[in-house]
Amino acid sequence: MKKFLLVFLGLYAISTIGQTEKLNLMPWPQEVIVGEGKFTIASNFTISVNNNNSERISIAATKFLRRLSGRTGVFIENGFPVIASEAKNTALEISYDGIGKLGINQDESYQLNVSATKITLHAATDIGVVYGLETLLQLLNNSATSFYFSEAKINDFPRFTWRGLMMDVARHFQPIGVIKRNLDAMASVKMNVFHWHLTDDQGFRIESKTYPKLHELGSDGLYYTQEQIKDVVKYASDRGIRVVPEVDVPGHATAILTAFPEIASKDTVYTIERNSGIFHPTLDPTNEKTYEILGALFGEMATLFPDKYVHIGGDENEGKHWDENAHIQQFKQKHNLKTNHDLQTFFNIRLEEILAKHGKLVMGWEEIMTDKMPTTALIHSWKGVNEGVELGQSLITAAKRGYNTVLSNGFYIDLMQPVSEHYLVDPLPKNNNLTAEERARILGGEATMWSELVTPLNIDSRLWPRTAAIAERFWSDASVNNVENMYKRLDYVSFRLEELGVDHIRNRDVILRNITNNQPTESLEVLTKLCEPIKIYSRNAGGVEYQTYSPFTLFADACTVDAADSFAFKKVVDNYVENQSAPNLNALTSFFDSWILNYKMFNALHKNPILSSISPIYTNLNAISVSFNEALEQGKVNKEQLQKIEGLLKTLETPVVDVELAVLNDFQKLYAFLVQNNKTIIAPKTNSLKQ
Amino acid sequence: MKKFLLVFLGLYAISTIGQTEKLNLMPWPQEVIVGEGKFTIASNFTISVNNNNSERISIAATKFLRRLSGRTGVFIENGFPVIASEAKNTALEISYDGIGKLGINQDESYQLNVSATKITLHAATDIGVVYGLETLLQLLNNSATSFYFSEAKINDFPRFTWRGLMMDVARHFQPIGVIKRNLDAMASVKMNVFHWHLTDDQGFRIESKTYPKLHELGSDGLYYTQEQIKDVVKYASDRGIRVVPEVDVPGHATAILTAFPEIASKDTVYTIERNSGIFHPTLDPTNEKTYEILGALFGEMATLFPDKYVHIGGDENEGKHWDENAHIQQFKQKHNLKTNHDLQTFFNIRLEEILAKHGKLVMGWEEIMTDKMPTTALIHSWKGVNEGVELGQSLITAAKRGYNTVLSNGFYIDLMQPVSEHYLVDPLPKNNNLTAEERARILGGEATMWSELVTPLNIDSRLWPRTAAIAERFWSDASVNNVENMYKRLDYVSFRLEELGVDHIRNRDVILRNITNNQPTESLEVLTKLCEPIKIYSRNAGGVEYQTYSPFTLFADACTVDAADSFAFKKVVDNYVENQSAPNLNALTSFFDSWILNYKMFNALHKNPILSSISPIYTNLNAISVSFNEALEQGKVNKEQLQKIEGLLKTLETPVVDVELAVLNDFQKLYAFLVQNNKTIIAPKTNSLKQ
């Protein structure tokens, strides 16, 4: 008799027993029933589809076979899916009702049924099938002698219709290969909107055939040709992903003004911006030429991007150059535009009209939401604590005022905050006092990858695996919010992203080899597991520490948020503070021993200026490890020892080479414990502790 | 007073003292004089160019600044080169006489002069400048406190004008990103011909606008659009690299026949070939439609590829289908074509005429060299020992008969032979008896990367660093042939290739993580340093073990030729056999100890079928390590022990999971020594040996 275990609606966190323990599904499906059966992967594995009308399924099913083969080493004899009418008794039977349309509020559901002898996947559209195939791959498991899919019945559909990732390719250009591997990664966690931030002060990245000056003068030669853009749009669509392009205007437009200074609000010479931050250059909304150029540009874009929405930016336009321009001031008076905000609304509405002619709707950062802005506009909520307002304030306001809206505050993955913080942000918190109609206007959210500090070498390690947890927030039920369980599954999802070419794991060692000049990197690896890049906007204070062409091959670039060993060390400290048993003591001193040993290895490296710059962290880590070990193994600490530790803690608080010690809190906790208990620590000084 | 050391014409191997020890130049320049001065890299580092007419220099100099910044961590203030007339006292002054033309026998020389206060780089053309910048980056060195360029005067030029790499993208498609990173790698070692093998039985990879069926039916959707091809050609040209496209006909043409069975020599149904080998399908040279289609195709290609040469393949056409076709037999009689070879010549000459109309010359594999073939054709010599003839036989014949010619036999890097073997193959050996005129017809060589067993995941580890040593053969003086010194420099060059995105190093761990299912990979890493993929054509016997869609994520794919630890182990065995001192004994047993320890770690892994398949190698390696250690530490070996070792050696001879043990020879050597000396080994059984 089979046993089934129903696991759904977030109750899974309580129900994780038996087979479900092994499931590393992410995003967690709406309903999962797990059995004990196994569908074994053999070389005769085959896939049938009820028809061959869907290129999406053809591509996804073929890729599925390659990935399955790659993971299992099974030489699958039939490398391509077949049509059901021509195949008997295929392992995986796919059926769908129709070709999916990319857009909001589409049916994205699928039903997956894995038994020991047969797998069926049904969906309303081929997009649901693409999602179901990803879930099936996540069901892959193994024993010593076989690979198999775990028996399961899954009924799944997304909570939010807008599950986006924004990528800024203006501040640092990202080649097509980077875009494509990240679209694959997005698809693997069922995200469906790629928001392409294509222009900013630092670059204009779209080939314009009407105004080639735009990409010729605004991009340092780093732009996407129209053919490449079409290719990306097709690639995304094959994966069920919409592409929403952004041309950020009227601010953040220095690159445009580099090509067309005549539509600037200030008569000066413009060059591509190399720093980061908020700059004064802004388009002149009173100049008809502005609309002529943007009109033609949006016309070109309308042919490249089939999506209903075009993002016009609209953020952080300070209007300083408007204030300084007499003509603009006269224009405001003449048109009864009281504030710069009013003037920008005038500009936005002109753009809205231009886009409407091309059948497009406006999306814009929350600043575009003004009294006169039509409610057809989609409001992109981005401000929060850093900007002095409550997280998602504009989201609620927008929903109440009749706008569709999407949340990005809380999902700024460039800020290097722990993924748990993003994970617990809900676009639609439980205690909202919205009507059902208002709630429906909250379409979902977007993680934002601003690119001041990323290049193709390190961008994946900022995006992944973190974005997968955010994808779960957008897809899964609100009650799926157990952080510990999320971290456990995230580890597995992270590793599996490698097969899609995502290089977040492998590139760490590339950076370390560069830093060491090809010497052994082990000691630095240990350090990357303890250090994290400094957070929020601290790494690039004022936006002028790093230029767009600064090196991003530094130690901070090898480090990531959620430093791997910090979790384990926290546990060890907590255990010890709770109970000073010999095993707990040993676990703690083992960490210190390892850091002391690795410091020796680090010191043995031939130094160069980069290595030398890292030295202070390691020296202090070593010193505090020695002190802690002394104190712990001695069983007692005297005042001098405590003072020494206190001093080191103080020193370690200051970031070095743009990283901070992720275990500092635990050091402080341990120190506090020592201070409190400095007479009573029991620690037999025998070697037998260290086994 | 400055001391200079002249190092040139291969004498460097003898002269490697002082500063030159530290130089990791590859290919080694024709003339190098090294001083003791240092040009220190500071944030005010600047580059000037005598004019801004060369986009090549603009791109290369900008990339140079990024790479220099990335390696050193120095925040270089000026991220772009400037024009000399607008700059004073720049660190690096570049000058050149004119824009380089891509083609054979062009001037590719450059002169580089690095002093402690100034660097100058001069070249006849901008292509020479691009090469000089690569050499300058190879002069980067460091102390604990600074990065610097070593003082040097370099006068450099290539020995051969044709320094090629052929990449087969038919058997396994390689996306644009793979092509581009390999073009960067080629440029970094001054290679100048990218031979793009675009069609074969397994795929037709060119978008044809005249006959879209070709790519639609012949490629599984994996082909290059014409825009992408133009982009690659431009990218290559920016790096001084010519692109020679190949359409392999009349054999190797199954993919073409999949689209156009009407031009086949046999009336049957054609589908894309999934196996490897030599197949019967071949075009019908008696059918005018064949020339109509090829004519249009070559016409399209002529617009895409500016190079003078088009490679028409022509290899391995067995003519079985010609023999079976009555019409073709009649045609032969009618036109007095006695052999199939004559018929193929008839075909080749028709193609030669078609290409001539487009201003192109024919290049083809050596089979195209027949009595009637015009000497304007370029003969690509590929046969050798595996084909039962002497290496490069056709090369000499071609040169004597008036053809320009290029050597690939000896440079088949897909065959997994040690790089030293390729390195010592000289297209123009010392004792050739060619006239000066004949010698001039030997243009150079091409490494060939056939892609039966490579995918984007593992291809770089087959290409690099090995191709760099071949590049040196093509560029440097013939006397630069010290293998040990080559290996030393190759190690460094290999590591530096990482900054160009080449992923030969990083992807090993990706494969190992996949194999272990994200468990610790250390024990497998140790094994990859001892194992090599089996060689020549043994991995894919008969071409049917692997299909194009088989998994290439296996242990053999994580292993490379020239297994890293095999060199060190060989030395240790040799030392011990020479002198059984305690340190020599210790060095040897340390290796065995490490393998025994790693075997324990391997055994601790949760097994899966892939890991289980690797087990026998490790089990036997462990067993022989235990036996050797016993014998060595005991000081004596008895008959049973020797028999046991002998049995294990026998077992280890048989490859497992397509890898062979690279240290087997050394095991055999050690065994022979034990047999010879089994009464006399002196080995005190004290622990003091293991320090």
Q: What is the pLDDT of residues B237-259, one digit of tens each?
A: 999 999 999 999 999 999 999 99
**B-contacting residues in A 387-426 (Cβ below 8 Å):** none
Contact check, Cβ <8 Å, A553/B175: no
Q: How confident is the model at residue B6 (pLDDT cuts 50, 70, 90)?
A: low
Give pLDDT, residue A3.
52
Determine contact: A24 vs chain B, CB below 8 A. Answer: no
Indicate the SS3 state at residue B185: helix
Looking at the structure, tell me whether residues A451 and A540 fall in a common domain.
Answer: no
Indicate the SS3 state at residue B610: helix
pLDDT tens string B192-211: 999 999 999 999 999 999 99
Q: Are A512 and A525 in contact (CB under 8 A)?
A: yes
**Distance separating alpha carbons of residues B606 and A141, to the nearest angstrom:** 12
**Distance separating alpha carbons of residues A105 and A109, to the nearest angstrom:** 11
Looking at the structure, tell me whether residues A231 and A131 fall in a common domain.
Answer: no
Looking at the structure, tell me whether residues B613 and B478 fall in a common domain.
Answer: no
**Distance separating alpha carbons of residues A353 and A375, to the nearest angstrom:** 13
The Cα of A658 is separated from the nearest Cα of chain B by a number of Å equal to 13
Determine contact: A176 vs chain B, CB below 8 A. Answer: yes
Q: How confident is the model at residue A5 (pLDDT cuts 50, 70, 90)?
A: low
Determine contact: A66 vs chain B, CB below 8 A. Answer: yes
Determine contact: B74 vs chain A, CB below 8 A. Answer: yes
Determine contact: B678 vs chain A, CB below 8 A. Answer: no
Contact check, Cβ <8 Å, A142/B550: no
Q: Is B678 inside any structural domain?
A: yes
Residue at which a domain ends, from A115, A132, A156: A156
End-to-end CA distance of chain A: 46
Contact check, Cβ <8 Å, B225/A227: yes
As given in the structure block, the two tokens for residue B419 are 């790089």
Give pLDDT, residue A624.
98
Phi, psi of A418 (to 5 degrees): -55, 145
Between A236-240, A487-491, A524-528, A681-685, the lowest mean confidence (pLDDT) is in A681-685
Looking at the structure, tell me whether residues A45 and A123 fall in a common domain.
Answer: yes
Tell me if residue A545 is catalytic. Answer: no
Determine contact: A550 vs chain B, CB below 8 A. Answer: yes
SS (H, E, C) B100-154: CCCCCCCCCCEEEEECCCCEEEEEEEHHHHHHHHHHHHHCEEECCCCEEEEEEEE
pLDDT tens string A403-429: 999 999 999 999 999 999 999 999 998
Give pLDDT, residue A634.
81
* DSSP H or E segment with residue B586: helix B582-603
Rounded to an integer, what is the distance from CA A586 to the centroid of its chain?
Answer: 37
Cis-peptide into B427, omega within 30 deg? no
- Return all residues near A175 (Cβ < 8 A) that are at least 6 apart: A456, B177
User: CA nearest A491 in B: which residue?
Assistant: B518
User: CA nearest B146 in A: which residue?
Assistant: A609
Give pLDDT, residue B683.
47
pLDDT at B140 over 70: yes
> Does the model's ipTM exceed the 0.90 cut?
yes
Mean pLDDT of B329-336: 97
Determine contact: A318 vs chain B, CB below 8 A. Answer: no
pLDDT tens string B533-554: 999 999 999 999 999 999 999 9
Determine contact: A686 vs chain B, CB below 8 A. Answer: no
Q: What is the mean pLDDT of chain B?
A: 94
**Distance separating alpha carbons of residues A252 and A543, to the nearest angstrom:** 14
Give A521's contacts in chain B (Cβ within 8 Å). Answer: none
CATH assignment at residue A37: 3.30.379.10
Residue B144 has its nearest CB partner, among A72, A518, A607, at A607
Give B80's contacts in chain A (Cβ within 8 Å). Answer: 549
Contact check, Cβ <8 Å, A71/B274: no
Nearest Cα to Cα of residue B643 among B661, B623, B663: B623
Q: Is B199 inside any structural domain?
A: yes
Best of B137, B549, B611 to mutate (most A CBs within 10 Å, chain A): B549
Mean pLDDT of A340-351: 96
Chain A to chain B Cβ contacts (< 8 Å)? 148
Looking at the structure, tell me whether residues A188 and A303 fall in a common domain.
Answer: yes
The Cα of A181 is separated from the nearest Cα of chain B by a number of Å equal to 11
As given in the structure block, the two tokens for residue B679 are 């009464």
Residue at which a domain ends, from A125, A156, A187: A156
Catalytic residue among B216, B316, B525, B630: B316
As given in the structure block, the two tokens for residue A390 are 């409550």
Contact check, Cβ <8 Å, B142/A608: yes
Catalytic residue among A31, A36, A216, A316: A316
Q: What is the residue whose two structure tokens read 């002095």?
A: A388
Q: Is B531 inside any structural domain?
A: yes
**Distance separating alpha carbons of residues B191 and B131, to the nearest angstrom:** 9
Determine contact: A506 vs chain B, CB below 8 A. Answer: yes
Best of A148, A550, A610 to mutate (most B CBs within 10 Å, chain B): A550
Best of A173, A223, A499, A517 to mutate (most B CBs within 10 Å, chain B): A517
Mean pLDDT of A351-357: 97
The Cα of B657 is separated from the nearest Cα of chain A by a number of Å equal to 11
**Distance separating alpha carbons of residues B297 and B460, to the nearest angstrom:** 30
CATH assignment at residue A355: 3.20.20.80
Determine contact: B492 vs chain A, CB below 8 A. Answer: yes
Mean pLDDT of A357-369: 97
Contact check, Cβ <8 Å, B609/A142: yes
User: CA nearest A545 in B: which residue?
Assistant: B75
Nearest Cα to Cα of residue B530 among B504, B565, B486: B565
User: CA nearest A179 in B: which residue?
Assistant: B177
Residue at which a domain ends, from A126, A156, A186: A156
Give pLDDT, residue B244.
98
Looking at the structure, tell me whether residues A461 and A525 fall in a common domain.
Answer: no
Determine contact: B549 vs chain A, CB below 8 A. Answer: yes
Question: What is the number of domains present in chain A?
Answer: 3
**B-contacting residues in A 124-143 (Cβ below 8 Å):** 142-143
Longest CA–CA span in chain A (Å) reads 88
Nearest Cα to Cα of residue B53 among B108, B126, B107: B126
The Cα of B369 is separated from the nearest Cα of chain A by a number of Å equal to 39
The Cα of B610 is separated from the nearest Cα of chain A by a number of Å equal to 7
pLDDT tens string B77-98: 999 999 999 988 999 999 999 9
User: CA nearest B178 in A: which residue?
Assistant: A177
Q: Is B514 inside any structural domain?
A: no
Longest CA–CA span in chain B (Å) reads 88
Looking at the structure, tell me whether residues A99 and A181 fall in a common domain.
Answer: no
**Distance separating alpha carbons of residues B61 and B78, to the nearest angstrom:** 12
Looking at the structure, tell me whether residues B399 and B471 fall in a common domain.
Answer: yes
Looking at the structure, tell me whether residues A223 and A311 fall in a common domain.
Answer: yes
pLDDT at A18 over 70: no
**A-contacting residues in B 243-282 (Cβ below 8 Å):** 274
Determine contact: B691 vs chain A, CB below 8 A. Answer: no
**Distance separating alpha carbons of residues A79 and A63, to the nearest angstrom:** 9
Q: Is A311 inside any structural domain?
A: yes
Give pLDDT, residue B319.
92
Nearest Cα to Cα of residue A167 among A228, A91, A246, A110: A246
CATH assignment at residue B630: 1.20.58
The beta-strand segments (E) located in A80-192 are 82-83, 92-98, 110-114, 119-125, 140-142, 147-156, 162-168
Give pLDDT, residue A6.
52
End-to-end CA distance of chain B: 46
Q: Is A212 inside any structural domain?
A: yes
Between A190-194, A629-633, B577-581, the lowest mean confidence (pLDDT) is in A629-633
Mean pLDDT of A67-93: 96
Residue A75 has its nearest CB partner, among B221, B550, B606, at B550
Q: Is B558 inside any structural domain?
A: yes
Residue A551 has its nearest CB partner, among B75, B231, B612, at B75
pLDDT at B19 over 70: no
Q: Is A596 inside any structural domain?
A: yes
User: CA nearest A74 in B: which residue?
Assistant: B551
Determine contact: A548 vs chain B, CB below 8 A. Answer: yes
Q: Per DSSP, what are the bridge partners of residue B39?
A: B149
**A-contacting residues in B 554-613 (Cβ below 8 Å):** 554, 606-610, 612-613
pLDDT tens string B289-310: 999 999 999 999 999 999 999 9
Looking at the structure, tell me whether residues B59 and B166 fall in a common domain.
Answer: no
Looking at the structure, tell me whether residues B577 and B428 fall in a common domain.
Answer: no
User: CA nearest A63 in B: which residue?
Assistant: B549
Determine contact: A202 vs chain B, CB below 8 A. Answer: no
Q: Between β-strands B119-125 and B309-313, what pairing exists: parallel, antiparallel or unpaired? A: unpaired
Give A75's contacts in chain B (Cβ within 8 Å). Answer: 546-547, 550-551
What is the domain range of residue A602? 509-689
Contact check, Cβ <8 Å, A501/B456: yes
**% residues pLDDT > 90 (chain A):** 91
Give pLDDT, residue B21.
61
Q: Based on C-alpha coordinates, what's the Rg of chain B?
A: 28
pLDDT at A15 over 90: no
Looking at the structure, tell me whether residues B72 and B181 fall in a common domain.
Answer: no
Contact check, Cβ <8 Å, A513/B495: yes
Q: What is the mean pLDDT of chain A?
A: 94
Helix ranges (DSSP H) in B419-482: 419-423, 436-441, 459-463, 466-475
